[in-house]
Amino acid sequence: MDCLQPSLKYPRSSAILDDISGPDYISKLHDDILIHMLDKLPMEEAGRTSLLSKRWNGLWRHKRNVELGYKLFQKPNRSVKLGYKLFQKSGNDVLPLLIKGFSDVRQQTIHRLSASLRYDKTMLTDIKLLMDYASSKNVEELYMDFNAKTDNIKWRRRYSFVLKPELVKQFSSLVKLSLKSLKLETLPPLCFMALGELFLEQVKLGEDSVEKITSNCPSLALLCLSNCNPSSDLNIVIAANSNILHLVIREEFTGPQNTPYSCSIRAANVKTIEFASALPRKGYQMKGTLSCSEAIFRLDQMEPRLEAVKVFSSGIRGNYTQNFLGLLGKLVTAEVLTLSSWCIQVLSIEVHRWNRPPTFEAKHLILEIGLNRWEFPGVAYMLLGCHKLENLVVVMGAPAKLDYGSVETLVRLGRIGLPEPSSKILQKLEVVEFKNYPGPYGTWDGDEFNQDRFFAGSEVGSLLVWNLKTYADNLKKTVFSTGEKCFATDQFRRFGDLSSAANLGLCHIPCVYRVFGYKCYQHL
């Protein structure tokens, strides 16, 4: 174990250090507090703290959060540096020595173990050793990345590691597991009774992989699939006996166009379904009956070429719109809906195409938008369709990048249509909240709230407030919050006018379905 002892190139003088730094109050703290501080540092930084004094020497090996980088798993006969410690390979691997060094001083459990590998076939022994060690230390959170190498080979082709049953221990304490860049072929390998959260990223899944995993993990509440099966169809079947509450499907574009593969989802018992980043596949199908109470569409990376998507008179070319509208139509029974700016602008296109909204069952609606003029028809689309809406939250941020140059003239000229009658809408809406955390005006002077300053930079913020206070007869509270302050009011007078929105051709929410020349605000 000589390789685990620090060897200092330059000796230090504690007397000189004391004169420079003064009293060392931190070193007088209890070990548990110092270890908690070390848990916040990366492994190399924590290792360097042994240089401070004898009090800190070796204390880093008591870390409850352990991070093992890919350098510790390399096979070439050369030294590996961890912090200021130098591990020499003399016929033995570094990892066994390191684990033995941890085991000699550690009796407590490990809270979090993270390992990043540049996997090759010679690492099977190291992986098994690492799994055995994690199981013996009752690890609660385990993170394994089998493709940490940065090279020019695309990750979607690197499924070199296959997780086999003999490599997986039956962790009785594991509550959170994250696996990246591998294949799950021989199942069931994942059978963890206490596992509550499972994250699979860049993982090649079989036809029944998800079903077996959800069946074998009875405590699993969160399943997140990130960029799984990018070069093949993705089949997601949640087992009937599963207790999953939240299913997250996060995907990104790997090219300039949709992938020719589809995604099939059967999740009868899931309470929350979330689609994140993008919908890059050819098609998405929701099969079977759904009982989910919350649907989240946080699609903030729907620009495959990293540029504004062009909008034509027929909508957005490709399967982007059809994928989203098809999924939204399947989830109209959800009581909580979250939509990002891109989704709202797609609904604005539906308004300009004279497509009326379906009937949503949502009681809570969360809109993550920038409040620009191209979002207002989409917001009206949702407010007209949510007849049971009780709570509305608008989270202000940067709007999605869509190019409306091709339809600008068409919208301005107007189409044949009649104004929507001002029927009773938003009759159950009670609470409205606007959150403007990234805005340029993060606060206001004293207790004087200024609506114009709050909505600075947005085109239709004040117009939306005017409409909500006009139509929501049972509104009880309006809340404006920033990163520093919060202003709530129960005064619902119709302040302001619509003259500021006249140049945008916008007025009442029900009037989004109308000819452009019809300006009902002139008659108020």
- Per-residue pLDDT of 141-159, as tens digits, reads 999 888 766 544 444 434 4
Place of tokens 């059978």: 191
Question: Confidence band (pLDDT; 50, 70, 90) for 293?
Answer: very high
Tens digit of pLDDT for each residue in 203-245? Answer: 888 888 899 889 888 899 999 999 999 889 999 999 988 999 9
Q: Which amino acid is at 78?
A: R
- Check if the beta carbon of residue 146 is closer than 8 Å to that of residue 182: yes
329 pLDDT above the threshold of 80 = yes
Residue 389 contacts by C-beta under 8 Å, 6 or more apart in sequence?
362, 363, 364, 365, 383, 426, 428, 429
DSSP for 314-363, written as a single string: TB-SSSHHHHHHHHHHHTTT-SEEEEEHHHHHHHHHHHHTTPPP--B--S
By the 8 A CB rule, do 451 and 479 touch?
A: no
Compute the mean pLDDT over every residue in the chain, rounded to the nearest whole number: 77
Which one-letter DSSP state was computed for residue 225?
Answer: E
List the structure tokens of 261: 């593969």
Dig out the tokens for 247 from the structure.
């299913």
Q: How far apart are CA 129 and CA 83, in angstroms?
A: 23
Distance CA 326, CA 117 (A): 40
On the question of pLDDT at 65 being above 70, the answer is yes
Going by the DSSP 8-state scheme, the letter that residue 147 receives in this structure is B
pLDDT for 169 equals 61
Helix (H, G, I), strand (E, B) or coil at 34: helix
Does residue 58 carry a pLDDT above 80? no
CA distance 271 to 295: 9
- Token digits of residue 474: 């049972």
Answer yes or no: are the C-beta atoms of 242 and 260 closer than 8 Å.
Answer: no
**Type of residue numbered 332:** V
CA distance to 46, 172, 177, 181, per residue, from 134 (Å):
20, 11, 12, 20
**Inter-helix orientation angle 376-385/341-352, to 10°:** 80
- Give the range among 119-123, 231-235, 366-370 with minimum mean pLDDT: 119-123
Alpha carbon 280 to its chain centroid, in Å, reads 17
- Out of 36-45, 109-118, 164-173, pick the least confident: 164-173
The answer to whether 116 and 149 have CB atoms below 8 angstroms apart is no
327: amino acid identity, one letter: L
Mean pLDDT of 329-341: 95
Question: Closest Cα to residue 67, out of 50, 48, 47?
Answer: 47
pLDDT at 438: 75
User: How far is Cα of residue 524 from the mean position of the Cα atoms in its chain?
Assistant: 44
Distance of alpha carbon 245 from alpha carbon 269, whole angstroms: 8
Residues contacting 445, CB < 8 A, separation 6+: none
Q: Give me the pLDDT at residue 84, please.
A: 41
DSSP 347-413: HHHHHHTTPPP--B--SEEEEEE---TTTHHHHHHHHHHBTT--EEEEEE-PPP-EE-TTTHHHHHH
Q: pLDDT class for 414, splitting at 50, 70, 90?
A: very low
The pair of three-digit structure tokens given for residue 180, joined into one six-digit string: 């990246």
**79 vs 30: which has the higher pLDDT:** 30
pLDDT of residue 493: 54
From CA 379, how far away is CA 432, in angstroms rounded?
Answer: 14
Most confidently modeled of 54-58, 235-239, 449-453?
A: 235-239
**Residue of 234, 295, 229 whose CA lies nearest to 264:** 234
pLDDT tens profile 85-96: 444 444 345 666
Cα–Cα distance for residue pair 202/204, rounded to 1 Å: 7
| CB contact at 8 A, 106 and 136 | no
Amino acid at position 365, single letter? L
Q: 383-401 pLDDT, tens per residue?
A: 999 999 999 999 998 888 8
Amino acid 16: pLDDT: 45
180-199 confidence digits (pLDDT tens): 888 875 444 567 888 999 99
| CB of 388 closer than 8 Å to CB of 363 | yes
- Rounded-to-integer distance, Cα 270 and Cα 279, Å: 20
pLDDT surpasses 70 at 498? no
Inter-residue contact 283 to 259 (CB < 8 Å): no
